[in-house]
Amino acid sequence: MKKKDKRNKLIAPCGMDCGICSHYLAYSHNFPKRKGVPQCTGCRERNKVCAFVKKDCELLRKNRIAFCFECETFPCDNLKRIDKKYTERYKMSFIANLHFIRDRGLNKFVQNQEREYRCPECGDTVCIHNNKCYTCSGFPINRPRE
């Protein structure tokens, strides 16, 4: 699988970039599993019911839509709830991500994410949850958050 295709599959239906998630980064960097700290291959790769949105959405569970913005009730209450949490804690909006993907395309979104979450020390990915680079341990990375 091409790197671009693999990276695109890390964008969850809800608009989360699994590639910047602490659980995915721990998995992808072969960190040892720790009790209470889950590791994840990404929502699409594991094709598992998303803990936040997919479990309550029949359209996503039955693969009738690829992204939440394709739903006529977008944004639903579940998405609004997780969006509010991430906007407050991490200054990142799932809903804004989905608007970006819908309006400018998945490839442009991934390029934007790779730029925004790039470690200035080694060029790998900085985690949204803790601002750490799991490659060079150059953490915390002080990314500007608006």
Q: Which residues of 93-122 are buried (b: 16+ CB within 10 A; e: fewer)?
A: ebbebbebbbeeebeebbeebeeebbbeee
CB 11 within 8 A of CB 20: no
CA dist 35 and 16 (Å) reads 24
| Start-to-end CA span in the chain (Å) | 35
List, for residues 2-28, the tens digit of each pLDDT value. 666 788 999 999 999 999 998 899 888
Ordered per-residue pLDDT tens for the chain, 146 residues: 566 678 899 999 999 999 999 889 988 888 877 776 677 888 777 655 565 566 678 888 888 999 999 999 999 998 999 999 999 999 999 999 999 999 999 999 999 999 999 999 899 999 999 999 989 875 444 444 44
pLDDT of residue 2: 67
